Structure 1
Amino acid sequence: RTPSAAAMGALEEAHLAAVAACGCDEEEEEDLLVEVGGGEAPGDAMEPAVRALLAGLGEDDRREGLRRTPKRVAKAFRDGTRGYRQKVKDIVQGALFPEVGVDKRTGSAGGTGGQVVVRDIDLYSYCESCLLPFSIQCHVGYVPSGGRVVGLSKLSRVADVFAKRFQNPQRLANEVCGALHASIQPAGVAVAMQCWHIPLPENFKCKNSGALIRTSHSSRSGVFEGENSSFWNDFVALLKLRGIDMEMDSRSASLTWCPLRPHEVPLCNGIPSNMVSAVSSMLLSLGEDPLRKELLGSPQRYVQWLMRFRACNLDVKLNGFTFNSASVYERPGEDATDHRAISSELHLPFCAQCEHHLLPFYGVVHIGYFGSGDGEGINRSHFQALVHFYGCKLQVQERMTRQIAEAVYSVSHRGAIVVVEANHICMISRGIEKIRSSTATIAVLGQFSTDSSAKASFLQSILDTANQEV
């Protein structure tokens, strides 16, 4: 069945509306953070500040899905910055153990100078430039001295103390290295990190992880210092056993880390001052100083990010997608399916904002539908606009999947199938820290719901193209 002219016009209109709805400029500034002490910060300003942000986005915090969002967001920020209220000496104290090595022999072993490396420590932190979480894979090595070794879990816990602060990657590596050297007094410490920062939505590529900004950073002290340090060479070699090549990754340290940092947007340029004030009050509640040099501009950047997902009244322009929506759930005819008529658009990238935690989730959308069979159809840019329209707002993945499927079905009345694969930042933060988890959802309408072979054919096409660039 050929899509009607009205439906095609609606697709074109949604393409223009989606571009207009979420266009934003970017901004910038230098970062570096000093340690802030203090006890438990009062949290009573956090939830009202989140409500102010939701209002600024055109949302109603009383609607279902947003009622507990202020509490969730406040809890996530408090948990993600708990490192300000922790001390390294409290972690390491009592965790040093005597370990007698091999005496009077050439070389090193155990407590007499053998290197110890803990690899693949999964962490997350908050980027101090934009206040969004980023994920970290940390590797820590040290050379014991004085016949004493430290409990291995303490290396991870010390790294977590500094990760749970507003950070940038290089300073994080330096602080972990310095704290371990000062607290356990080894012959030397080496720290290596790979960090992943979510990019701007318009910079997403077709693959879930390919769009992430990845940089690698390292820091070393004592016997690890120097270009010809055998200890550093051993450390790098032990990382290579896990497929981590620090020499190859060292070039990434020069990349721009935060995508919101390169351009500074003044308040008068569409950034609501009341929302910026709300974010500043959140920083104060967490024990931070928003006027400190390294955080200047961060509230504006965070609001700028949120404004990319603001509510809009453009849904009325989607009538072309959803007209005759009552027919979405009608049972299609039982005619035999010609699988050659199945059209698909796969690996459409998207970035949305979870309405439960105000944290991004991102990934790809796969769309299948029954075409007209005469060569006419809807091109990829129309479907990308549709995905962008439903993604560029506060969302949940399940609802987004259904909305896209219903919109496609309103154009191709025989059947529609949509699969969404996404990584949720809320799964790496908030104490969950499931770094490599992903979520898949599926919506099946029309003939795809009754023809299992048609559904299987579409799902196989996703698998067949999984390792291809789109």
Structure 2
Amino acid sequence: MSNHDHHHLAGEELDGYVKIDRYNPDLISSISSHYQEILKHVGEDPQREGLLKTPERVAKALLYLTHGYDLNPTEILNSAMFTEDYSQMVVVKDIEIYSMCEHHMLPFFGKAHIAYIPNGHVVGLSKIPRVVDAFARRLQVQERLTNEIRDCIQGTLKPLGVAVVMECRHLCMSMRGVQKQNSVTTTSAFTGEFLKDKTRAEFLHLISSKLS
């Protein structure tokens, strides 16, 4: 866990996943005061009725959107790892992603598609999306997020290979700068067997096909 976990979150921790129940009032107050100043700087009146509680709401939202710093993705996987004689591809696709880019602190969001080929160990399927969330709920760039998920699964499960493909829309592109509304950024990362063309092609076919 990071140094600030005990300062801003108090909740029930289960296999590396924190259920947020309440926040440290002192930290909320501190962050809120900064947002009051920001409202003034952009030309708003933080004392008008509609904005009275906005700084506090934004502080709480920001802490939630970055609570991945307080999660340990390796522990999440280790909590539900089982010995199993299964060596075919395991694919979890269409995992929702919500993150914030570290350059402008604006959201990017989309889907991740993840596969691994077990080498004696499998993991509970619900843990894969939790690992995604643990890394996504931090200030990120999509390229690093993709690699971090790949490396965590590879390093913990020690599978024959890992594949991660991520497709996201970035509000820093849609709302500012080039203002391209429909741009989608795709990143990918592979290890082991997925470095082979045939295996990677099978994975890409599976994540692009629809179940009947």
1:239 aligned to 2:212?
no
Q: Which residue of 1 aligns with 2:192?
A: 222
Query: How far, CA to CA, are the matches of 1:38 and 1:235 in structure 2?
Result: 38
1:281-430 pair list within 5 angstroms: none
Tell me the amino acid that sits aligned with residue 168 of structure 2.
C
Q: Which residue of 2 aligns with 1:173?
A: 146
TM-score, normalisation: structure 1: 0.38
Q: Which residue of 2 aligns with 1:154?
A: 127
Q: Which residue of 2 aligns with 1:93?
A: 78
Contact map agreement 1:125 1:136 (CA 8 A) in 2: no
Tell me, which stretches of 5 or more residues in structure 2 are unaligned? 9-26
Post-superposition Cα deviations, 1:114-162, rounded to whole Å, max 9, x if no partner, equal 001001001110101101111121111000111x211111111111111
Q: Which residue of 2 aligns with 1:468?
A: none
1:50 aligned to 2:20?
no
Post-superposition Cα deviations, 1:312-358, rounded to whole Å, max 9, x if no partner, equal xxxxxxxxxxxxxxxxxxxxxxxxxxxxxxxxxxxxxxxxxxxxxxx
Q: Which has the higher strand share?
A: 2
1:129 aligned to 2:103?
yes
Query: How far, CA to CA, are the matches of 2:79 and 2:68 in structure 1?
Result: 20
Query: How far, CA to CA, are the matches of 1:77 and 1:212 in structure 2?
Result: 26
Match among 100, 115, 123 for residue 141 of structure 1: 115
Post-superposition Cα deviations, 1:73-122, rounded to whole Å, max 9, x if no partner, equal 1111111111111111221123112333xxxxxxxxxx1x1001001001
Provide closer, same or farther for how the CA distance between residues 65 and 212 of structure 1 changes in structure 2, counting only shifts above 3 A.
farther
Could you tell me how far 1:192 is from its partner in structure 2?
0.3
Tell me the amino acid that sits aligned with residue 202 of structure 2.
D
List 4+ stretches of structure 1 deviating above 4 A: 201-205
Query: How far, CA to CA, are the matches of 2:200 and 2:183 in structure 1?
Result: 26
Post-superposition Cα deviations, 1:272-301, rounded to whole Å, max 9, x if no partner, equal xxxxxxxxxxxxxxxxxxxxxxxxxxxxxx
Q: Which residue of 1 aligns with 2:19?
A: none
Q: Which residue of 2 aligns with 1:466?
A: none
Tell me the amino acid that sits aligned with residue 152 of structure 1.
L
Could you tell me how far 1:45 is from its partner in structure 2?
2.3
Query: How far, CA to CA, are the matches of 1:37 and 1:94 in structure 2?
Result: 19
Could you tell me how far 1:64 is from its partner in structure 2?
1.7
Tell me the amino acid that sits aligned with residue 199 of structure 2.
F
Query: How far, CA to CA, are the matches of 1:117 and 1:131 in structure 2?
Result: 31
Query: How far, CA to CA, are the matches of 1:89 and 1:212 in structure 2?
Result: 34
Contact map agreement 1:84 1:164 (CA 8 A) in 2: yes
SS in structure 2 at match of 1:51: helix
1:194-213 pair list within 5 angstroms: 194-198=167-171, 199-200=174-175, 204=179, 211-213=181-183
Tell me the amino acid that sits aligned with residue 126 of structure 2.
S
Query: How far, CA to CA, are the matches of 1:242 and 1:161 in structure 2?
Result: 27
TM-score, normalisation: structure 2: 0.82
Could you tell me how far 1:201 is from its partner in structure 2?
5.2
Name which one, 1 or 2, has greater alpha-carbon Rg. 1
1:70 aligned to 2:55?
yes
SS in structure 1 at match of 2:147: helix
Question: Identity of aligned pairs, percent?
Answer: 37
Tell me, which stretches of 5 or more residues in structure 1 are unaligned? 1-35, 101-110, 206-210, 244-470
Contact map agreement 2:160 2:193 (CA 8 A) in 1: yes
SS in structure 2 at match of 1:152: coil
Could you tell me how far 1:212 is from its partner in structure 2?
3.8
Query: How far, CA to CA, are the matches of 1:89 and 1:200 in structure 2?
Result: 35
Larger relative contact order (Cα-Cα within 8 Å, sequence gap ≥ 6): 1
SS in structure 2 at match of 1:65: helix
